[in-house]
Chain A
Amino acid sequence: MTRPVLEVVDLVKHFGAVRAVDGVSLAVAPGEVLGLVGESGSGKTTLGRCATRLVAVTSGHVRINGTDIAKLSRRQLRPLRRHFNMVFQDPSSSLNPRMTVADIVSEPLRLHRIGTGASRRSRVNHLLDQVGLPAGVGRRYPHELSGGQRQRVSLARALSAGPALLVADEPTSALDVSVQASVLNLIGRLQSDLGFACLFVTHDLASVEFLAQRVAVMYLGVLVEVAARRELFATPRHPYTQALLSAAPIPDPPAQRTRRRIVLTGDIPSPVDPPAGCRFHTRCPVAVDECRVVVPPLRPVGPAGALVACHLVADDGTGPRLG
């Protein structure tokens, strides 16, 4: 197997008593889009921020192209930052309002001393064209642009230094549906043109289904299932994955009104004091005594190598079907 662009091993991130990420391992291969899905409090955003070292890591490893950045200082990190970058949910708060679009997009080039003034200018024009913005936009300021255009600027900035990894945290969640479509199409097109690896963090299953080749599902700081996209959507194995897929309404009234739905009771427990055993057992409709005591390991099941952390799923991938 080729070396992964991003390799996270036993990653732990605690904020004081809050165990936001509590032992996660995953890898993103070159040119792959891995969708990381979960609900509020699952730790998905924190994992993305650890992968780009926007926050310090409590323990574990974060390797980018083989280099472990988990414990590097800010100074040590700085020259490596051209290899990975991030886009955020709200482009209006992640773009400097006092800089022109051209300055925003060329900033990574200046910081990493890539190219000359003239070559940077032509690179910026090329990038703006790649993200579907007219060349004149370079002279404008973020407030003059629409939400969708600002997100295109964020993408151009994130990709300007040619990173091997892009972490996208809910990049379309703040946008209207018609604009979401164009940004999702753009990310898909850029990814296949430029070939960067992408960790796509979102709560929106439909956009993951559209964009990702593999999907990792997080619940309360841990991974509960990792599988190829088609496999995960066709045969979700973990009870939480099944509940999550069944809860997302699909825009088709006859199908939506006749499909089996699993409504979970209760709320996601506090990450300060997560439940013992399987963290999902307090809301799991099929939990047994073992689930309340023994932590289920994330292990390969079934013929296609899906990973599932559930005592009730057998090695051949069969297990409880809810609903």
Chain B
Amino acid sequence: MTLLRVDELTVRFRTEDGPVLAVDAVSFDVAAEEVLALVGESGCGKSVTALALTRLLPRNATVAGTVTFDGTTLSALPESALREVRGRDVAYVFQEPMTSLNPVLTVGRQIGEVLRQHQKLHGAAARRRAIELLDLVGIPLPARRIGEYPHQLSGGMRQRVMIAMAVACRPRLLVADEPTTALDVTIQAGILDVLRDLRTEIGMAVLLITHDLGVVADIADRVVVMYAGRTIETAGAPALFARPSHPYTRGLLDAVPNPARHADGGLREIPGRVPVLADSPDACTFADRCGRADETCRRHRPDLSPGPAGHPVRCWHPLPVPEPAVPA
């Protein structure tokens, strides 16, 4: 069942240096209880896409396209109705918990605020539920922790509090923007486990925004790869890693050092930089950095269409499917 449908989402910013096209007609679906990873490097438009879903962007942004959540067209809702959707049905977790938590309120007060706002829970009932939530995200001694302030918690514990607040109303979709990027790997492993458990326990889908392919390999069901505002490839996680079709996806995978296959010959580099676009060019936006590019790529925009590996790719010359290894 499709929970979230994003159709031709386009975001432009007016800036002092002129207009910037941040998201260029992006379309994707998230199924109920699915973990969909939105992957790309800085400036590819992945965070802007996440914020645009519930119109959390600053005023200099113009958004076009439709976002449908569980049959409701969010893009047509007035602000007051959208506010109900945020927090209750669609919740957010961001990279840096310290800037999203109020430093002068206890953890219990902050979780209580969400419960009051959306679930009309007060007093002892709110306190009980707050303790349950901290327990749910794996915080030891939750009854003591709810009286503490954010600065008394470690980075990993703060991120668990953020997740507890986000899931307080049992949202159907959690949008997690780089939720573990600021954390150590041993702490990250625990947070990823919490997300995995919550998805089955409360039946929640996760839209995970990340640049970390290790995290994607760990937790994502499906992956959407973005480049310069466009989706360039989408596939099930195992297929994307085993049979990438877009040269950029291949480049990203080869650029990451992987202890499982030591690269004695050096890491593959992707020359050049991500372009900042004022308008959508009638060309492939990766052409200038791509070894396979020809005149077609520079003159015509490729569509997202099924590639040689069976999943959609936006490329005129997608990579062939690798031959299966012949057993020796």
What 1/0 flags go to B235-270 for Cβ under 8 Å of A? 001100100000000011111111110110011111
Chain A contact residues, majority secondary structure: helix
A299 → chain B closest CB, angstroms = 25
For the complex, is B157 an interface residue (Cβ under 8 Å from A)? yes
A17-25, A50-58, A258-266, A305-313: which lies at the B interface? A258-266
Complex partner residue of B41 from A176, A185, A188, A256, CB under 8 angstroms: A176
Complex partner residue of A249 from B217, B263, B270, CB under 8 angstroms: B217
A-side contacts of B260, CB under 8 Å: 250, 252, 255
Instruction: Name the residue on A nearest B237 (C-beta).
Output: A253
A-side contacts of B185, CB under 8 Å: 39, 203, 205, 244, 247-249
B-side contacts of A252, CB under 8 Å: 217, 241, 258, 260
What 1/0 flags go to A179-200 for Cβ under 8 Å of B? 0111011001100000000000
Complex Cα distance, B187 from A243, in Å, reads 11
For the complex, is B155 an interface residue (Cβ under 8 Å from A)? yes
For the complex, is B59 an interface residue (Cβ under 8 Å from A)? no
Interface centre among A181, A188, A266 (most CB of B within 10 A): A181
Q: Which residues 147-180 in B have Cβ within 8 Å of A in the complex?
A: 154-157
Are A178 and B252 in touch, CB under 8 angstroms?
yes
B78 → chain A closest CB, angstroms = 38
B-side contacts of A182, CB under 8 Å: 267, 269
A-side contacts of B211, CB under 8 Å: 176-177
A75-83, A157-165, A206-214: which lies at the B interface? A206-214
What 1/0 flags go to B257-294 for Cβ under 8 Å of A? 11110110011111001000000000000000000000
A-side contacts of B257, CB under 8 Å: 181, 184, 206-207, 209-210
Are B269 and A203 in touch, CB under 8 angstroms?
no
B-side contacts of A189, CB under 8 Å: 266
Complex Cα distance, B211 from A182, in Å, reads 17
Interface centre among B154, B157, B217, B252 (most CB of A within 10 A): B217
Complex Cα distance, B267 from A189, in Å, reads 12
Are A209 and B262 in touch, CB under 8 angstroms?
yes
B60-68, B188-196, B311-319: which lies at the A interface? B188-196
Complex Cα distance, B186 from A264, in Å, reads 7
B-side contacts of A268, CB under 8 Å: 154, 184
A207 → chain B closest CB, angstroms = 6
Q: Which residues 253-299 in A have Cβ within 8 Å of B in the complex?
A: 253-257, 261, 263-268
Complex partner residue of A177 from B156, B238, B255, CB under 8 angstroms: B255
B291 → chain A closest CB, angstroms = 14
B-side contacts of A256, CB under 8 Å: 214, 217-218
Are B157 and A185 in touch, CB under 8 angstroms?
no
A200 → chain B closest CB, angstroms = 13
B-side contacts of A247, CB under 8 Å: 185-186, 188-189
Q: Which residues 114-157 in A have Cβ within 8 Å of B in the complex?
A: 146
For the complex, is B216 an interface residue (Cβ under 8 Å from A)? yes
Instruction: Name the residue on B nearest A204 (C-beta).
Output: B257
For the complex, is A251 an interface residue (Cβ under 8 Å from B)? yes
For the complex, is A94 an interface residue (Cβ under 8 Å from B)? no
For the complex, is B140 an interface residue (Cβ under 8 Å from A)? yes
A-side contacts of B193, CB under 8 Å: 263
Complex Cα distance, B27 from A251, in Å, reads 25
Complex Cα distance, B214 from A257, in Å, reads 11
B-side contacts of A39, CB under 8 Å: 184-187
A235 → chain B closest CB, angstroms = 13
Are B251 and A253 in touch, CB under 8 angstroms?
no
Are B189 and A263 in touch, CB under 8 angstroms?
yes
Sample of 28 A–B contacts (CB below 8 Å): A39-B187, A40-B184, A177-B213, A177-B252, A181-B254, A182-B267, A184-B267, A185-B267, A203-B185, A205-B185, A206-B257, A206-B259, A209-B257, A209-B262, A210-B262, A243-B186, A248-B259, A249-B215, A249-B217, A250-B217, A251-B216, A251-B258, A252-B260, A253-B217, A253-B238, A256-B214, A261-B189, A267-B187
Residues of A within 8 A of B (CB): 39-40, 146, 176-178, 180-182, 184-185, 188-189, 203, 205-207, 209-210, 233, 243-257, 261, 263-268
